[in-house]
């Protein structure tokens, strides 16, 4: 995404009280004064600077990351993520063949995360109702790709 477009989106999000996350590009997140989402791969350049901004408690430096298993749990604790996208909750067209967690394993992983868990992967109205809304491992938010398209 063009830096000017990202900066404009960041300003719009800030005015509306929305957390805008940049996927995987810590330098772009810093430039745009946006949050950062770390996918399930090694972080690129700029992560240290972003983490230093978080230590200074700048309000826009939210951090989320992908949580697919034990490694994601460990990484979330290590970088002190604000929340995690626990996925894939259910079978999803965006990752065909990826083993889905299902509601019970999703809740167990979310409970071990120790911070808010957002469900991603195969999330639609019917599947979202199958996730726990109370207690440990409860769903703190829903994220979707295909369910929002069309």
How much is the pLDDT for 13?
A: 86
Among 14, 38, 61, the domain boundary falls at 61
| Domain with 3 in it | 1-61
Q: Is the pLDDT of residue 77 over 80?
A: yes
Residues written for the chain:
150
**Are both 35 and 71 inside the same structural domain?**
no
Q: Is the pLDDT of residue 62 over 80?
A: yes
CA 55 to chain centroid? 19
**Are both 82 and 45 inside the same structural domain?**
no
Q: Tokens for 104?
A: 């019970």
**Are both 50 and 75 inside the same structural domain?**
no
**Are both 2 and 43 inside the same structural domain?**
yes
Q: Where are the alpha helices (DSSP H) in 1-144?
A: 3-16, 26-32, 47-55, 70-78, 102-113, 125-128
**Are both 15 and 87 inside the same structural domain?**
no
**Are both 136 and 73 inside the same structural domain?**
yes
Please state, as a whole number, how many other Cβ atoms lie within 10 Å of the Cβ of residue 57: 7
**Are both 36 and 78 inside the same structural domain?**
no
**Are both 31 and 83 inside the same structural domain?**
no
How much is the pLDDT for 51?
A: 94
Q: Is the pLDDT of residue 150 over 60?
A: no
**Are both 48 and 84 inside the same structural domain?**
no
Among 30, 61, 92, the domain boundary falls at 61
**Are both 48 and 107 inside the same structural domain?**
no
pLDDT band for position 2 (50/70/90)?
A: confident
Among 44, 61, 78, the domain boundary falls at 61
Q: How many domains does the chain have?
A: 2
Q: Whole-prediction pTM value?
A: 0.88
CATH code of residue 72:
3.20.20.70
**Are both 57 and 72 inside the same structural domain?**
no
Share of the chain above pLDDT 70, in %: 97
User: Is the model more confident about 79 or about 148?
Assistant: 79
**Are both 56 and 79 inside the same structural domain?**
no
How much is the pLDDT for 145?
A: 74
Please state, as a whole number, how many other Cβ atoms lie within 10 Å of the Cβ of residue 107: 23
Q: pLDDT tens digit string along 87-120?
A: 999 998 888 888 999 999 999 999 999 999 999 9
């Amino acid at each position: 995404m063009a830096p000017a477009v990202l900066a404009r989106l960041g300003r719009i999000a800030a005015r509306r009280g929305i957390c805008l996350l940049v996927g995987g590009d810590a330098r772009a997140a810093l430039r745009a004064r946006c949050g950062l989402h770390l996918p399930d791969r090694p972080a690129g350049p700029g992560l240290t600077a972003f983490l230093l901004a978080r230590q200074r408690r700048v309000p826009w430096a939210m951090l989320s990351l992908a949580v697919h298993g034990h490694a994601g749990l460990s990484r979330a604790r290590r970088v002190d993520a604000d929340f995690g996208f626990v996925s894939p909750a259910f079978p999803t067209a965006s990752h065909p063949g990826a083993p889905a967690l299902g509601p019970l394993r999703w809740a167990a992983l979310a409970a071990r995360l120790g911070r808010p868990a957002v469900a991603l992967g195969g999330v639609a109205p019917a599947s979202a109702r199958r996730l726990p809304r109370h207690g440990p491992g409860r769903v703190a938010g829903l994220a979707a790709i295909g369910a929002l398209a069309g």
